[in-house]
Amino acid sequence: MAETTDSTSTDASLLDDARISSTYRDGDGVRLHVVAAGDPDGPLVVLLHGYPDFWYGWHNQLRSLVDAGYRVLVPDQRGYNLSEAPEGIDAYRLSNLEADVRALIESEGRHSAHVVGHDFGAYVAWHLALREPDSVDRLAIFNVPHPTVYHAFIRRSPRQLARSWYAIFYQLPRFPEWLLGRNDAALLVSALEKSANPGTFDDEAIRRYRAAWRQNGVTPMINWYRGLRRSKRPASDTVSQPTLICWGENDIALCPELADRSVEYCTDGDLRTFPNASHWVHHERSAVTDTLLEHLSSGEV
């Protein structure tokens, strides 16, 4: 794992909260950095970040969940920040990413957890709920469509295909790494800022993201997209768990119709849309956190 040349810490000390600490857990053959917080006996919530995020992307939700009595695990998923980054594309197949989450749940002595995901983390969450339904109590998805909906749209919608250009571009060897890694990841910073509303990521946040990206470089993050093409789709496409979908309507990468179609694949689905919010809806709208807490508490006796 490469050492960072930036003095910015990228572990739990970023939040300066004694209740929140960095730990290391075994995933599916990899060592994962996991931020842990909350009552060890409380209901378990696992928060899964996406691309090009790291655990810090959940900082707005983490304290609220702890205050509400939950036990919370927030991993740097494999290849990101302080977690190990195995070599090769096959290490980033969805089956491995899902197995990491199952291992985290088991590390707490549990058989299941509430699973919350954003972006690619939400894609992992969808697949885990479909493949291993007993592992997921309640599901929450932020700005990523159901896998079946996405595959159907990408085939028949030129508009969505155009918006997904980067996922196709990332299949090229080496060139995406060179382009995104240049000038201290300037293009990656630009992509982060353009996909969010103005002010969502301030200078301090960008400094933290750059420090996280330096840990393993950009190749593992891109390999998530390459591994996706080598992944098998779930046998079933009906989500049985109570599912919350929160969707920022100004997502530049995903057509808004994807949200409506996704909830149709949930036997107990609740879609909440947020006008004028971007792909980073959980950063931009405090109501998302309130809605998440409401969703998770609905299943408590």
For this structure, is 17 an active site residue?
no
Q: Can you read off the two tokens belonging to residue 199?
A: 């002010």
Instruction: Tabulate helix, strand, coil % of the chain (nearest 5).
Output: 45, 15, 35
- Asked if residue 20 lies in contact with residue 71, where contact means CB atoms within 8 angstroms, the answer is no
Q: Are 97 and 124 in contact, with CB atoms under 8 Å apart?
A: yes
Catalytic residue among 225, 282, 283, 295: 225
Of 53, 119, 137, 251, the catalytic one is: 119
Is 119 labeled as catalytic in the residue annotation? yes
Q: List beta partners, residue 45.
A: 72, 114
Token look-up 């098998």 returns 232
Active site residue 170: no
Asked whether the CA dihedral 280, 284, 286, 291 is positive or negative, the reply is negative
Which structure tokens are listed for 214?
Answer: 């330096």
Instruction: Name the active-site residue from 33, 146, 279, 295.
Output: 279
Q: At what angle do helices 94-107 and 219-229 cross, to 10 degrees?
A: 110
Active-site amino acid positions: 119, 225, 279
